[in-house]
Chain A
Amino acid sequence: DSGVTQTPKHLITATGQRVTLRCSPRSGDLSVYWYQQSLDQGLQFLIQYYNGEERAKGNILERFSAQQFPDLHSELNLSSLELGDSALYFCASSVMPHYEQYFGPGTRLTVT
């Protein structure tokens, strides 16, 4: 157990819908990262937050957005969902932006 928690574990929804994924970092970690992992694919960096502020952006679609709240938990919002958005979404956290990242258990999103 890495200490990073993610909810929900599984999510099944229809195309066009909107969902919110939640992540709580390890105690003491200020940085949160979101990654997407499609079937048999690698890990694609989406976005990073540090102490409430956006720090870096990767291949994140305009339909996706995220934020980090004052209590340091983070939410990833996915809207106008398409079949191709079906994937595992991982959250990771670290003490500082360039320190070791520890991953949560992931949320498996299925869009039907």
Chain B
Amino acid sequence: GENVEQHPSTLSVQEGDSAVIKCTYSDSASNYFPWYKQELGKRPQLIIDIRSNVGEKKDQRIAVTLNKTAKHFSLHITETQPEDSAVYFCAALRIQGAQKLVFGQGTRLTINP
């Protein structure tokens, strides 16, 4: 079955700097890759997603890149702000077949003022 590895597990950056979180997946048939942000005690919130027919997607300060050949995708946050502090989860899903959304282990991002 699908396995998603996420790195790093913790990340601390200075306010205003960029943060990058990377994920690799094992199932080459996976074709949908969402990213979720979870603040302490709250629900995961979808912040951006990408499908396998595109290599990059951007939404204001957030961007996601996908390399299908290498089976990895990354989340880029630019001009980080204190409110970006949270746990971020990547996930992968194969649209055909079982359609199970498999999550990475999460990255705890801390933005230092």
- Name A's B-contacting residues (CB within 8 A): 2, 33, 42-45, 48, 55-56, 58, 90, 97-98, 100-106
Q: Say yes or no for B95: interface residue by CB 8 A criterion.
A: yes
CB pair B98 A98 closer than 8 Å: no
| Bound complex: CA A6 to CA B40 (Å) | 18
Can you list 6 pairs linking A and B with CB atoms under 8 Å apart?
A: A33-B101, A45-B100, A56-B99, A98-B95, A103-B44, A103-B46
User: Count of B residues near A, CB < 8 Å?
Assistant: 22
CB pair A43 B44 closer than 8 Å: yes
* Given A2-B43, A101-B46; A48-B100 close (CB under 8 Å): yes
| Bound complex: CA A27 to CA B43 (Å) | 18
Considering residues A2, A42, A90, A103, which has the most beta carbons from chain B within 10 angstroms of its beta carbon? A42
Of chain B, the residue at the smallest CB distance from A4 is B43
CB pair B106 A101 closer than 8 Å: no
The residues in B between 34 and 69 inclusive whose CB is less than 8 angstroms from any CB of A are 34, 36, 42-46, 49
- Within the complex, what minimum Cβ distance (angstroms) separates A66 from chain B? 15
- Name B's A-contacting residues (CB within 8 A): 32, 34, 36, 42-46, 49, 89, 91, 93, 95, 98-106
CB pair A98 B43 closer than 8 Å: no
A106: chain B residues within 8 A (beta carbon): 43
- Within the complex, what minimum Cβ distance (angstroms) separates B72 from chain A? 18
| Bound complex: CA A79 to CA B36 (Å) | 30
CB pair B42 A100 closer than 8 Å: no
B104: chain A residues within 8 A (beta carbon): 42
| Bound complex: CA A105 to CA B93 (Å) | 22
- Within the complex, what minimum Cβ distance (angstroms) separates A45 from chain B? 5
* Given A98-B93, A98-B95; A90-B102 close (CB under 8 Å): no
| Bound complex: CA A102 to CA B45 (Å) | 7
Of chain B, the residue at the smallest CB distance from A40 is B106
B44: chain A residues within 8 A (beta carbon): 43, 90, 103
Of chain B, the residue at the smallest CB distance from A43 is B103
- Within the complex, what minimum Cβ distance (angstroms) separates A96 from chain B? 10
CB pair B34 A100 closer than 8 Å: yes
